[in-house]
Structure 1
Amino acid sequence: DNHELVEPDNHELVEPGNHKLIEPDNHKLVSEFKDYLKFEKMLSSNTVNSYIRDMVIFFNYAESKKINVLSITYEEILDLLKNFHEKYSESTISRLLSSIRSFYRFALKNDFIKYNPFYEIKNPRKPYSLFKILDEKEVQNFLENIPYASKLQLRDRAMMELLYSSGLRVSEIVNLKLNDIDYENSMLRFIGKGNKERIVPVGKTSQKFLSSYIKAARPKIHPKNENKRSNDYVFLNKNGGRLSRQGFWKILKSYEKKINPEKNIYPHLFRHSFATHMLQNGADLRLVQELLGHSNISTTQIYTNINKDFIRESFIKNHPRNKKNR
């Protein structure tokens, strides 16, 4: 299962470890699974936390039903699936089952079980749904209505401009460091999802606000003369520490209420819009794949399905048999 390709349901708003497992033996199992993900599978901390949150949901259910997860029966699995379908969306169920299958593969590898009871349990089939995006005017309206008079407003404008300009993930924004910025070549160089190095360009408007923030606003948020631990992250919270993913979400939602309360604005919406607008304006699919940091081009190809009118217009415009007077 490719857990990283499943869109989490607002996991960015949830801190790991909100629930405690009741049974010590279960807690030990989850702890060992976490070490396996971190040190053997070499997954990023965000991905590991996503798996563990799913494990907490699964183990809490098992404990409530007095189920031994290492000897779970087919009938108990059916009851679990029924419970999931009553409580969660199909995308969440798919993610949960992906995590559970991974856990049982780990258990099988370590001889905790003799077979994987979830091996033949398939994810729910669901109709293909297109990503939501903002059109270019909506993006422009949102960004240009973010004020930049105060130090925190300038930080916010710089973050939001960068989010769309470079198609970044929230984790990449909040983990961006000062030495990741190449001002001379207008590029960012950093470690993205899956611990992969990414190099992405920064547009002129975004670079203008980023430079202004770093020169004029950031020193006021994190004064050098204060006796604080050195902080080389670009985007800081109001207290001078690194801005968290939850903090970024709250800031974005505050502007949603002021600028576009009718729309559900979330960080990945700008990434989807970035990719779609790049393709609509003639960018090569392989280039967009590289900019987004997708390991598989099939993930990037999803964006070609978003705007059917655009695809039809491009076909009419570019197919040689559709061109007149050629």
Structure 2
Amino acid sequence: MDNVKIYLNFFVEYLQIEKNYSQYTIVSYVADIEDLFSFMKEQAIIHLEEITYNDTRLYLTELHKREYSRKTISRKVSSLRSFFKFLVREEKLSENPFSLVSLPKREQKIPQFLYEEEIEQLFSISDCTNPLGQRNQALIEVLYGTGIRVSECCNIQLSDIDLYIGTVLVHGKGGKQRYVPFGSYAHDAIEIYINDGRKSLLNKLSKQDQHSYLFVNHRGSHLTDRGVRHVLNELIKKASLTLHIHPHMFRHTFATHLLNEGADMRSVQELLGHSHLSSTQVYTHVTKEHLKKIYLSHHPRA
């Protein structure tokens, strides 16, 4: 199966150079494709051109036997379809055996979000007289005030922040960049943190280890996604909220609150950095419930 590995390497180069995908995304593609290679060995299939539509059906049956979720199976099929489409484009294969495979319908989960009272509770917890309290306050104000992804938040550099006009340059998925505005609460929290708390935390580092990341941990190093989860868990404990909050909930809350207050879908799509409007439309399920409650509460004939 030497040519199989060569084709995979070609595909990885394509994802890196032409598609500009992140390393995390590429690793997922490779894992999905190598899983098919393992299946090929079990079925004594040596060359990719030997795979037929019937083989793809057998492979899908195998995935169902492993009790993978519909979301996982959809991702794997999508990865393999892209891989074979690339090989057909490069004239390595004559046809794509996954082109006729239909993706299983994904379960439509309503995004979890925080109510305004819960958000207010979280904002009142941090002790802004010490460096970590200032960092925590700035962190949750940025997450809620911009709706950016946690990975995007962790990678903000000082040069990305414009306090004068209240915007942050966000480096999103696939190398895409966008400017996202933030309000006065986030502005004040960021300014206090940059001028005071961040400087104190950075003093713990040696000169050669200094960096320009906005958010730092208690040792002064770059704050990671995992670090953000720890910060939020600690805030939840202090607030005595019986919630299981994951960092992405701030993004869900940002979008839901904007739509509830009358923001249009296209603007929210742009702020979130979604490539497709369908990704943003999932939040309409939440806002419809909100509108229904208002209707039932206020309409005389409800």
Equivalent position SS for 1:236: coil
Matched-pair contact (CA < 8 Å) for 1:142–1:260? no
2:185 aligned to which of 194, 205, 226:
205
Instruction: Give 2:13's aligned residue.
Output: 35
Write out aligned runs for 1:245-256 (5 A).
245-256=225-236
Instruction: Give 1:273's aligned residue.
Output: 253
Write out aligned runs for 1:116-195 (5 A).
116-148=96-128, 150-195=130-175
* C-alpha distance in 1 between matches for 2:92 and 2:201: 51
* C-alpha distance in 2 between matches for 1:59 and 1:178: 45
* C-alpha distance in 2 between matches for 1:57 and 1:207: 47
Give 1:57 deviation, angstroms: 4.2
CA gap 1:231/1:105 in 2 versus in 1, 3 angstroms: same
The number of residue pairs the alignment matches comes to 298
| Identity between Structure 1 and Structure 2 (%) | 35
* TM-score (norm. length: structure 2): 0.83
1:298 aligns with 2:278: yes
* C-alpha distance in 2 between matches for 1:128 and 1:269: 16
* C-alpha distance in 1 between matches for 2:116 and 2:73: 33
* C-alpha distance in 2 between matches for 1:255 and 1:173: 18
Deviations 1:75-113 (A, max 9, x none): 432332123223321112111211111111122222332
Equivalent position SS for 2:282: helix
* C-alpha distance in 1 between matches for 2:39 and 2:126: 44
Stretch of structure 1 that moved more, 69-78 or 81-90: 69-78
Equivalent position SS for 1:307: helix
Give 1:274 deviation, angstroms: 0.6
Give 1:60 deviation, angstroms: 4.7
1:82 aligned to which of 51, 61, 64:
61
Instruction: Give 1:284's aligned residue.
Output: 264
Instruction: Give 1:14's aligned residue.
Output: none
Matched-pair contact (CA < 8 Å) for 2:145–2:186? yes
* C-alpha distance in 2 between matches for 1:276 and 1:154: 26
What are the ranges of 5 or more consecutive residues in structure 1 without an aligned counterpart?
1-22
Give 1:137 deviation, angstroms: 1.7
2:88 aligned to which of 108, 122, 138:
108
Equivalent position SS for 2:283: helix
Stretch of structure 1 that moved more, 76-85 or 308-317: 308-317
1:52 aligned to which of 21, 30, 38:
30
CA gap 1:265/1:72 in 2 versus in 1, 3 angstroms: farther
Give 1:180 deviation, angstroms: 0.7
Matched-pair contact (CA < 8 Å) for 2:204–2:219? no
* C-alpha distance in 1 between matches for 2:235 and 2:40: 41
Give 1:170 deviation, angstroms: 1.4
What are the ranges of 5 or more consecutive residues in structure 2 without an aligned counterpart?
none
